[in-house]
């Protein structure tokens, strides 16, 4: 199983390890399955930028970024080179080690998901 470390810009939220992430699932799906808050106003279909994350380690274990995803990342709050959309980060290998930072979700309208 893949391992993912979730860190948060909101320092009130402690980091969390997920040790049983399966290949073929997205980072967004993993957050949903493990009670980790990550906005997804469009329902996870790459039609907004609310599931914006930073991939700090393990980008090589994720599906490549598409042109459509890049377009939506440009609309995200504080995009960086390591920015991705959680709904598009499909885990490719069961032995992946990935580290992700979730931006402060309080800045996003509809963050109560």
Structural domains of the chain, with CATH: 2-107 (3.10.20.30)
Closest to 2 measured CA to CA, from 25, 20, 29: 20
Quickly tell me which residue has 């109560």 as its tokens: 112
Closest to 25 measured CA to CA, from 63, 74, 69, 82: 63
Q: How confident is the model at residue 78 (pLDDT cuts 50, 70, 90)?
A: very high
- In this structure, are residues 108 and 77 in contact, taking their beta carbons and an 8 Å threshold? yes
Residue 18 has pLDDT above 90, yes or no: yes
- In this structure, are residues 95 and 21 in contact, taking their beta carbons and an 8 Å threshold? no
Q: How far is residue 20 CA from its own chain's centroid? A: 16
Rounded to two decimals, what is the model's pTM? 0.91
Averaged pLDDT for residues 57-70 = 97
């Amino acid at each position: 199983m893949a391992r993912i470390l979730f860190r948060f810009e909101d320092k009130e939220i402690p980091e969390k390890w997920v040790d049983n992430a399966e290949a073929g699932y997205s980072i967004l799906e993993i957050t949903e399955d493990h009670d980790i808050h990550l906005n997804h106003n469009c329902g996870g279909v790459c039609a907004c930028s609310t599931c914006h994350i930073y991939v700090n380690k393990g980008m090589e274990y994720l599906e490549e970024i598409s042109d459509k995803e890049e377009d939506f990342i440009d609309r995200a709050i504080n995009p960086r080179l390591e920015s991705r959309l959680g709904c598009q980060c499909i885990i490719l290998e069961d032995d992946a080690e990935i580290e992700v930072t979730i931006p402060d979700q309080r800045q996003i309208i509809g963050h109560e998901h």
